[in-house]
């Protein structure tokens, strides 16, 4: 059982772009392998996702939340 009394949920900031990108890319590569073409997943890069997250967070064009435990 997880103790959530030290859990904080907050809006993402530009500084969160890199870890968000790594989570996003790794998740896609794991979840969609053998479902979408490998060539698509290979073009789904950390660098592209970092830029996309930075842009979205700067423009506040979408809401992205971070859950932090301790």
Task: Read off the pLDDT of residues 38-57 as tens digits, 9 standing for 90 and up.
Answer: 999 999 899 999 999 999 99
Q: Which residues, at least 6 apart from 50, have a Cβ–Cβ distance to it below 8 Å?
A: 17, 18, 21
pLDDT recorded at residue 69: 87
3-state secondary structure of 32: coil
Q: Please, what sign has the CA dihedral across residues 17, 18, 19, 25?
A: positive
Average of pLDDT values for 16-30? 96
pLDDT recorded at residue 1: 65
* Strand residue runs (E) in the chain: 7-11, 65-69
Of the pLDDT bands very low, low, confident and very high (cuts 50, 70, 90), residue 26 is very high
pLDDT recorded at residue 18: 97
The pTM (predicted TM-score) of the whole model is 0.81
């Amino acid at each position: 059982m997880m103790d959530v009394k030290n859990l904080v949920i907050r809006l993402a900031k530009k500084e969160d772009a890199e870890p968000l990108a790594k989570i996003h890319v790794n998740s896609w590569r794991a979840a969609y392998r053998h479902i979408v073409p490998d060539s698509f997943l290979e073009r789904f890069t950390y660098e592209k996702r970092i830029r996309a997250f930075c842009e979205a967070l700067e423009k506040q064009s979408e809401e992205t939340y971070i859950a932090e435990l301790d």
